[in-house]
């Protein structure tokens, strides 16, 4: 039972916000692809497969991140009790979990076409490079955005087996969304990160952090409106998209960079934001 508890802590399965924020962009890509390929059975099957893939890869990523950051995590109040940082599990044991989870994710990946498999293998490289970014750049959140939203491209290619400039617009929009919400998240650890020498957009823009998040969310919303401009009107799409916009504006208004609980609460609100945008994109098909 103790090993099971440690596994849950390692993979953050008790904190689903992580794998849901990885899954929602996949669902956006699938919903958008569905508007070009009206195959409901394929859409539903792929929705389940991408959810499982997100769950497995996020779990593997969390463990690898904790392995890489174990010395830093031990110095940060919020992370010092994590299993690897607190030495409740051996690093070698944790690596075994990573290999098993990646193996299971690969079994899901090979259910797709060759192009999507290649992109999926590329995403693994991105995922395992991300933990090192906070050591070398103030923009690890940008790299996270590139990595976390890769599922949009994969979802499109899984359905259509080609690339499209339109889905790239959705992908870039999602990158700005992630850049905004992870800056809010990173504000929790600014004081500790500065002491131990880690970098983030939260630290880089700490004097104007709300303005920076506003710019990120504004760019994200603008690109979504541009992409779906032909669907704007008195309809379900516009109403649901408005709710998405309100959820982001609310985050900017409420979060306080000097209050970690406020930052965490507004960060978690993005689970609902992601779900709302999924419904919004899906509504263009009906």
pLDDT digits (tens, 9 = 90+) for 180-200: 999 999 999 888 888 888 899
Cα–Cα separations (whole angstroms), residue 279 to 16, 236, 275: 19, 9, 6
Reported as a pLDDT band with limits 50, 70 and 90, residue 124 is: confident
Reported as a pLDDT band with limits 50, 70 and 90, residue 53 is: very high
The average pLDDT across 44-54 equals 98
Give residue 79's pLDDT. 84
Q: Which residue from 266, 134, 280 is spatially nearest to 196, judged by alpha carbons?
A: 134
42 half-sphere exposure, CB direction, 13 A CA radius: 18
Would you say residue 108 has pLDDT above 70? yes
Q: What is the mean pLDDT of the chain?
A: 94
Give residue 91's pLDDT. 92
Reported as a pLDDT band with limits 50, 70 and 90, residue 23 is: very high
The average pLDDT across 9-18 equals 92
Q: What is the CATH number of domain 2-285?
A: 1.10.357.140
Percent of the chain with pLDDT over 90: 80
Report CA 254 to chain centroid distance, whole Å: 21
Give residues with Cβ within 8 angstroms of 75, minimum separation 6. Answer: 192, 195, 196
The average pLDDT across 110-130 equals 93
268 half-sphere exposure, CB direction, 13 A CA radius: 10
The average pLDDT across 162-190 equals 95
Give residue 286's pLDDT. 83
Give residue 127's pLDDT. 86
Reported as a pLDDT band with limits 50, 70 and 90, residue 238 is: very high
Percent of the chain with pLDDT over 70: 100
Q: Are 18 and 62 in contact (CB under 8 A)?
A: yes
With 0.75 as the threshold, say if the pTM is over it.
yes
Higher pLDDT, residue 190 or 155: 155
Would you say residue 1 has pLDDT above 70? no
Give residue 32's pLDDT. 97
Residue spans per domain, the chain: 2-285
Q: Which residue from 103, 120, 79, 51 is spatially nearest to 43, judged by alpha carbons?
A: 51
The average pLDDT across 120-134 equals 89
The answer to which of 36-45, 53-62, 71-80, 138-147 has the lowest mean pLDDT is 71-80
């Amino acid at each position: 039972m103790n090993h099971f508890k440690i596994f849950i802590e390692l993979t953050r399965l008790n904190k689903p916000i992580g794998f849901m924020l990885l899954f929602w962009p996949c669902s956006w890509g699938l919903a958008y692809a569905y508007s070009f390929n009206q195959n409901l059975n394929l859409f539903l099957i792929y929705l389940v497969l991408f959810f499982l893939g997100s769950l497995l890869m996020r779990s593997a990523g969390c463990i690898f991140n904790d392995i890489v950051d174990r010395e830093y995590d031990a110095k940060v109040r919020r992370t010092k009790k994590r299993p690897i940082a607190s030495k409740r599990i051996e690093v070698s044991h944790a690596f075994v979990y990573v290999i098993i989870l990646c193996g299971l994710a690969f079994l899901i990946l090979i259910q797709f076409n060759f192009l999507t498999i290649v992109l999926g293998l590329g995403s693994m490289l991105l995922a395992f490079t991300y933990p090192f970014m906070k050591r070398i750049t103030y923009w690890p959140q940008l790299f996270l955005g590139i990595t976390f939203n890769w599922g949009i491209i994969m979802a499109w290619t899984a359905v259509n087996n080609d690339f499209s400039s339109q889905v790239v617009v959705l992908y870039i929009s999602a990158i700005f969304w992630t850049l905004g919400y992870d800056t809010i998240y990173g504000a929790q650890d600014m004081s500790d990160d500065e002491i131990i020498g880690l970098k983030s957009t939260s630290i880089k823009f700490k004097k104007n952090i709300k303005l920076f998040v506003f710019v990120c969310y504004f760019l994200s919303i603008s690109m979504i409106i541009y992409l779906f401009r032909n669907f704007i009107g008195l309809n379900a799409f516009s109403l649901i998209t408005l709710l998405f916009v309100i959820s982001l504006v609310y985050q900017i208004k409420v979060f306080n960079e000097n209050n970690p609980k406020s930052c965490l609460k507004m960060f978690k609100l993005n689970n609902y934001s992601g779900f709302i945008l999924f419904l919004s994109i899906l509504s263009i098909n009906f």
